[in-house]
Amino acid sequence: MGGADFVIIVPLIPSKQNSFVITRYKAIFEAMVDLKKIF
């Protein structure tokens, strides 16, 4: 999924908001992984 690619790309972008963005997208990514396990 595109979400996984975004999680990989985001850490490469230097930014003050980086940690917030990474945390947010990690949570989304983990949620998608959980959904894959359920279905």
pLDDT tens for the chain, 39 residues long, are 455 555 555 555 566 666 777 788 888 888 888 878 776
- The pLDDT of residue 24 is 81
Contact predicate 29/21, CB 8 Å: no
- The pLDDT of residue 7 is 55
Taking the model in full, what pTM does it have? 0.41
- The pLDDT of residue 20 is 75
- Its domain, for residue 9, covers 2-38
> In the numeric block, which tokens belong to residue 32?
């998608």
Number of folded domains that form the chain: 1
| Three-state SS at 17 | coil
> In the numeric block, which tokens belong to residue 4?
């996984």
Contact predicate 32/2, CB 8 Å: no
CA distance 35 to 3: 13
